[in-house]
Structure 1
Amino acid sequence: MSIDTREAYRRALDAFGALVHRIGPGQWRLPTPCVDWDVRTLVDHVVRENRWVPLLLAGRTVGEVGDALDGDMLGDDALKAFDTSATAAVQAVFEDGALARVAHLSFGDVPGGEYVAELFADVLIHTWDLARAVGADERLDPELVDACAAWFADAEKGYRQAGVIGEQRPTPAGTDAQTRLLAAWGRPPQSDGDDD
């Protein structure tokens, strides 16, 4: 990755959070490009991922955490839920040695640095999903797009085989880097529904 993985993750979370703080009262149930996810479900997903970060980087396993992170993560104050979870996640990834630790994920053990790269990519793509859903500016940080594309070049096959992303969308020659990245993740150029 061309920039520090932790810094890329922090910046992606900041951008997602800025959009969360702009969600209007009537926008929480709007559909997103993720199949069957509305805006609230998408934000809940990111908050849940954030809440896993300190636990997994501390060496906990999915089995040890059990159902502690099941259910609604947003409660009555979605903004506070996001802010609190993002702060804790960023603190955990910047702890000394965090990238060298082993994260015990549901599909197997990975180095902490790989886990943080996956988190970064997930949040960056979901930032676009959220922007599209609420009608905000869909342009992503070009440096983060390039960093994600470089990392995803090696991860894409595994993601697609696992069924966690949609089919790659065709892109014409000369397509910009952001559109190519989104197409690799199965995102459509127009709002016609997609996988998460």
Structure 2
Amino acid sequence: MADFSPVELLELFQRAQNQFTDRVDAVGSDQWEDESLPGWTVADLVAHLVSEALWVPPLLAGEPYAEGRFPEDTTDLLGTDPFTGWETAADGALSAFAEDDALMRTVHLSRGPTPATQYILEMTADLTVHAWDLAHATGGDTELDGELVTAALVFAEQLPEDGVPGLFDPPLDVSAAAPPQVRLLARFGRKAT
């Protein structure tokens, strides 16, 4: 893993949250049921990231991942105002990561113990790729923050060559000379258009 300091990781995570927040704020009231990914609506995509953000505080507090802790239903996760639902969960995640020794901890994910520095980098990559997914689905700004793309590529390079079933799609073939954003999206099974 590239050497990111805890301060750099926290800053990247906050920027990734802000980038995603801008895309959520731009979703039109008639776009929430549009398809964002195969089998997912725009609302489902935002709810997925709400769920991930809700998990940050308990995981950093040392609690293990356990099914059923938070609602799984999109409507329950987003409530009546999806933007506020996202912002509330995002604020809680950022506050948890910003605690004094949070990035020195180990979190217990479903796949096993993971250093918090790896966890925040994974979350940053997920937010970055899903910001593109959301913008792509809603006709928004699909240009991603270049530094976030670079950080997300650091995480992406650690993934198995065939992806991670149920978490990350297998990569698409692209030229090593392709722009970083194109390579990042391809690494997560997306074709930049």
* Structure 2 length-normalised TM: 0.90
Partner of 1:25: 29
Q: Does 2:41 match 1:38?
A: yes
Deviation at 1:168, TM superposition (A): 1.6
Report 1:46-125 matches (<5 A).
46-63=49-66, 66-70=67-71, 71=73, 72-125=76-129
After superposition, the C-alpha distances for 1:85-132 in whole angstroms (9 at most, x for unaligned) are 111100111111111111111111111111111111111100000010
Q: Which residue of 2 aligns with 1:194?
A: none
Q: Does 1:150 align with 2:154?
A: yes
How many residue pairs were aligned?
186
Residues 119-170 of structure 1, C-alpha deviations (whole Å, 9 max, x = no match): 11111100000010000110000111111112321x2217714452222212
Query: How far apart in 1 are the matches of 2:42 and 2:14?
Result: 21
Q: CA RMSD in A?
A: 1.7
Q: In 1, are the aligned partners of 2:162 and 2:171 still within 8 Å (CA)? A: no
The SS at the match of 1:164 is: coil
> What is the match of residue 138 of structure 1?
142
Match of 1:10 in 2: 14
CA distance in 2, matches of 1:173, 1:141: 20
Cα distance in structure 2, aligned partners of 1:122 and 1:60 = 22
SS state at 1:45 partner: helix
Q: State the one-letter code of the partner of 1:36.
A: G
SS at the partner of 1:166? coil
Question: Which 5+ residue runs of structure 1 have no aligned equivalent?
Answer: 191-196
In the alignment, the residues of structure 2 paired with residue 84 and residue 159 of structure 1 have an alpha-carbon distance, to the nearest angstrom, of 34
Contact 1:2 1:147 in 2 (8 A): no
Distance 1:149 1:171 in 2: 14
Q: Retained in 2: the 8 A contact 1:16–1:124?
A: yes
Q: What TM-score, normalized by structure 1, do the two folds share?
A: 0.88
Distance 1:27 1:161 in 2: 29
Residue 28 (structure 1) shift: 0.3
Secondary structure of the corresponding residue to residue 179 of structure 1 = helix
Q: Residues of 2 paired with 1:9 and 1:171: CA distance?
A: 27
* Alignment of structure 1 residues 177-196 onto 2, 5 Å: 177-190=180-193
Once residues 51 and 176 of structure 1 are traced to their aligned partners in structure 2, the CA distance between those partners, rounded to angstroms, is 33
Deviation digits for residues 17-45 of structure 1, max 9, x if unmatched? 1111111110001111x220110000000
Q: What letter corresponds to residue 39 of structure 2 in structure 1?
A: D
Give the Cα separation in 2 of the matches to 1:51 and 1:158: 29
